[in-house]
């Protein structure tokens, strides 16, 4: 995992364990799994639309939003990006 993803995941985990008022991440955790997954779905659709209709910078922007929300969803379930990496690695044996 890249340092950026490591840092992002650590920040998300920290917000889950130590909520801070005014934090968007904390608001997502407070809203619950259903709302988090809804955001993942919305961001996935935005990536698809950007991929079809927008320029590369918009695809990158929307992809970053999707990765962030996916990390929140993973952390909410007690999972990590490393768990995803292990699964991906197992597919290339």
Buried-state track 46-81, b at ≥16 Cβ within 10 A, e below 16: bbeebeeeeeeeebeebbebbbbbbbbbbbbeeebb
In this structure, what token pair is assigned to residue 58? 């918009």
Q: Sketch the domain layout of the chain as residue ranges.
A: 3-90
User: What topology is assigned to 3-90 in CATH?
Assistant: Helix Hairpins (1.10.287)
Q: What Cα–Cα distance (Å) separates residue 85 from each residue in 21, 59, 74, 77, 81?
A: 32, 22, 12, 16, 6
pLDDT at 2: 83
pLDDT in tens, 3-45: 999 999 999 999 999 999 999 999 999 999 999 999 999 999 9
pLDDT at 35: 98
pLDDT in tens, 36-72: 999 999 999 999 999 999 999 999 999 999 999 999 9
pLDDT at 93: 78
What is the H or E stretch that residue 26 is in? helix 24-31
């Amino acid at each position: 995992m890249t340092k950026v993803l490591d840092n992002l995941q650590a920040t998300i985990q920290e917000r889950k364990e130590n909520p801070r008022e005014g934090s968007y991440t904390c608001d997502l955790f407070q809203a619950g799994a259903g709302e988090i997954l809804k955001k993942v779905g919305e961001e996935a659709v935005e990536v698809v639309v950007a991929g079809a209709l927008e320029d590369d910078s918009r695809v990158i922007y929307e992809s970053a939003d999707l990765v962030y929300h996916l990390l929140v969803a993973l952390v909410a379930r007690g999972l990590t990006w490393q768990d995803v990496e292990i699964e991906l690695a197992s597919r290339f044996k």
